[in-house]
Amino acid sequence: MGVELRANNLIKRYGARELFNIEELKVQEGDSLHLSGDNGVGKTTLMKILAGLDKPCSGEVAVTPNMKSKWSTRLHPKVVYLHQTPYIFSGTVAANLAYGLKLKGLANRQIKETVCHALAWARLEELADHSAHLLSGGEKQRLALARAWVLAPGLLFLDEPTANLDQQSVASVADLIDKMLEGGAAVMVSSHQKNPVTELCYRQLLLSEGQVTEFGHQREARYHA
């Protein structure tokens, strides 16, 4: 099921300093967006607000369809945010992959099957029973992507996903993100540099001086709904 996001009049301030004031931002099903901007302009803060991990000082973010129950404290189940350096829970690679699946109340057999598929998807099969903390940077990034992939997100926020990765790891990560786009997910990638992951993005956004400007499309849309 496709997910669409609309943000209106988003303002975020830290003390007297206004970080950004964004009139409108829409992300539609199947979109791929590259959010660029200098260090410290607020890319991470904006993405966290859009993902529900932070609150704006004013404005609203609406994700449709609204799959949150009224009294639940869960965030939208189809929106996932990945940190620049993903946090990996203590335990094995397989246990990390199963984390979100257990929260869905799936049967153990189903969780095991999905984890197997995810390990193959992320090319981490041989590391399933290894301590996740022992993975390399690239492997951790793939694990974090797989951890999100198993939840079938409709909207994925990737914060500088290729920072600190070597070329081979960047290519691996780009491949996985391409697969997620193929699967119909909308993806927003923040990066202040061009790389194979940002090359996948159709829409180009620039966050500068507190405003988000869309400055056109870099190529034909591949997966636009």
Partner 1 sequence: MQENLLETSILSLELLFSFDAELWDIIGVSFRVSMIAISIATLPAILIGFALAMVDFKGRWMVVALFNALMAVPTVVVGLTLYLLLSRSGPFGDLHLLFTQPAMIIGQVALAFPLLVCMSHSAFQSIDKRAWETARTLGANCCYAVITIMKEARFALLAAVLAGFGRIISEVGCSMMIGGNIMSYTRNIPTAIALETSKGMFAQGIALGLVLLILALLLNFTLASIRGKGQLV
Interacting span for partner 1 (CB under 8 A) from 67-75, 161-169, 186-194, 197-205: 67-75
Nearer to partner 1, 21 or 44 (CB): 44
- Distances in whole angstroms, Cα of residue 129 to Cα of each of 19, 92, 106: 43, 5, 21
**Site for partner 1 contains 95 (CB under 8 A):** no
What is the smallest separation between the CB atom of 36 and partner 1, expressed in angstroms? 22
**Site for partner 1 contains 108 (CB under 8 A):** no
Question: Of 37, 56, 59, 86, which lies in the binding site for partner 1, with binding defined by CB under 8 A?
Answer: 86
86 vs 165: CA distance, rounded Å: 12
Q: Which of 176, 196, 7, 159 is nearest to 84 (CA)?
A: 159
The one-letter code for the residue type at 79 is V
Question: Of 75, 116, 128, 163, which lies in the binding site for partner 1, with binding defined by CB under 8 A?
Answer: 75
Q: Per 3-state DSSP, what percentage of the chain is helix, strand, and coil (rounded to 5)?
A: 30, 30, 40
DSSP per residue over 10-69, as a string?
A: EEEEETTEEEEEEEEEEE-TT-EEEEE--TTSSHHHHHHHHHTSS--SEEEEEEES----
Q: What angle do CA 195, 198, 200 make, to 5 degrees?
A: 115
What is the smallest separation between the CB atom of 211 and partner 1, expressed in angstroms? 26
Interacting span for partner 1 (CB under 8 A) from 4-12, 46-54, 58-66, 113-121: 46-54
**Residues in 144-203 at the binding interface with partner 1, rule: CB under 8 A:** 147-148, 151
Nearer to partner 1, 14 or 89 (CB): 89
Point out which residues bind partner 1 (CB under 8 A): 48, 51-53, 72-75, 77, 79-83, 85-87, 89-90, 99-100, 103-104, 131, 133-134, 147-148, 151
